[in-house]
Chains A and B, each alone.
Chain A
Amino acid sequence: NAGVMQNPRHLVRRRGQEARLRCSPMKGHSHVYWYRQLPEEGLKFMVYLQKENIIDESGMPKERFSAEFPKEGPSILRIQQVVRGDSAAYFCASSPGTGYEQYFGPGTRLTVT
Chain B
Amino acid sequence: GESVGLHLPTLSVQEGDNSIINCAYSNSASDYFIWYKQESGKGPQFIIDIRSNMDKRQGQRVTVLLNKTVKHLSLQIAATQPGDSAVYFCAENSLGNMLTFGGGTRLMVKP
Check if A and B associate: yes
Q: Which A residues fall within an 8 A CB radius of B?
A: 4, 31, 33, 35, 40-45, 48, 55-56, 58-59, 91, 93, 98-99, 101-107
Ordered by A's residue number, 22 sampled pairs between the chains whose C-beta atoms are within 8 Å are A33-B99, A35-B101, A40-B104, A41-B103, A41-B104, A42-B101, A42-B102, A43-B44, A43-B91, A43-B99, A44-B101, A48-B97, A56-B95, A56-B97, A59-B98, A93-B99, A99-B93, A101-B46, A104-B36, A104-B43, A105-B43, A106-B43
Q: Which B residues fall within an 8 A CB radius of A?
A: 32, 34, 36, 42-46, 49, 89, 91, 93, 95-104
B101 to chain A, nearest CB (A): 4
Q: Which residues of B contact A4 (CB under 8 A)?
A: 43
- Docked Cα-Cα span, A41 to B44, in Å, equals 12
Q: Select A42's contact among B32, B42, B95, B103, beta carbons within 8 Å.
A: B103
A106 close to B97 (CB less than 8 A): no
- Docked Cα-Cα span, A35 to B97, in Å, equals 12
10 extra A-B contacts, CB within 8 A, seeds A101-B46, A107-B43: A35-B99, A35-B101, A42-B101, A43-B89, A43-B99, A43-B101, A48-B98, A101-B34, A104-B43, A104-B46
- Docked Cα-Cα span, A98 to B102, in Å, equals 20
Q: Which residues of B contact A56 (CB under 8 A)?
A: 95, 97-98
